[in-house]
Homo-oligomer: A and B are copies of this chain.
Amino acid sequence: MTDKRIPDSTVRRLSLYLRFLGEFEASGVETVSSEALAERGGTTAAQVRKDLSHFGSFGKRGLGYSVGALARELRHILGLGRHWNVALIGAGRIGMALFEYGPFRRRGFHISTVFDNDPEKVGQARGDVTIHGMEELAERLKEGHIDLVILAVPATVAQDVLDDVVRAGVTAVLNYAPTQLRAPEHVALRSVSMLLELEALSYALSRQRSA
């Protein structure tokens, strides 16, 4: 890896390329050109080549990329062959849907600890995991070798919980609370903003209906 500062948009496209390579692989295609990858992703061949060039040299001039080999490289770059130890905070509907979401586990993300502040839930088992109270958060995060925290708590408490998580030394957080959170620069923070997407659609619908 030659460059430490890869743009976010590049990482996002690598994920998409990996998805498309999976589709090509499933339909028996063995080599693919940057043009074909670009077309599937709505970008340009030059962009595909530039994105990949951050990480070294893949493919042969004029021959395109080996679908299988490039997929393996992208999985490696994206850290998808590894095992990540995850704590889930918030055992509500969204949290538990994530807990049982197969694709998380298949990408190496294993939820080993669950926290909730509901006394009725604390102590209950989910699969082979027990739900812990929030008062145990700091200690368990520190001692549990947690790589990533998934925040599935109400928006009103999300920043406070995030601050606790950061203080406990966690450096990667996936946020599902519908709010804008702030974290120090050394923390990788991503938000899945269902409500933002929904509001964008609501906006589009209003426009359509008034057109």
Contact = CB atoms under 8 A, between A and B. Distances in A.
Contacts of A4: 207
B12 A172 contact: no
Contacts of A171: 205, 208
A46 to B, nearest CB: 19
Given A104-B198, A172-B208, A192-B194, A203 B78 contact: yes
A66 interface: no
Interface in A7-63: 8, 11-12, 14-16, 18-20, 40-42
Contacts of A133: none
Contact of A148 (B107, B109, B201): B201
7 contacts: A41-B180, A79-B206, A82-B205, A84-B202, A107-B199, A174-B198, A190-B197
Interface of A: 1, 4, 8, 11-12, 14-16, 18-20, 40-42, 77-80, 82, 84, 93-94, 96-98, 100-101, 103-104, 107-109, 147-148, 155, 171-174, 178-180, 188, 190-208, 210
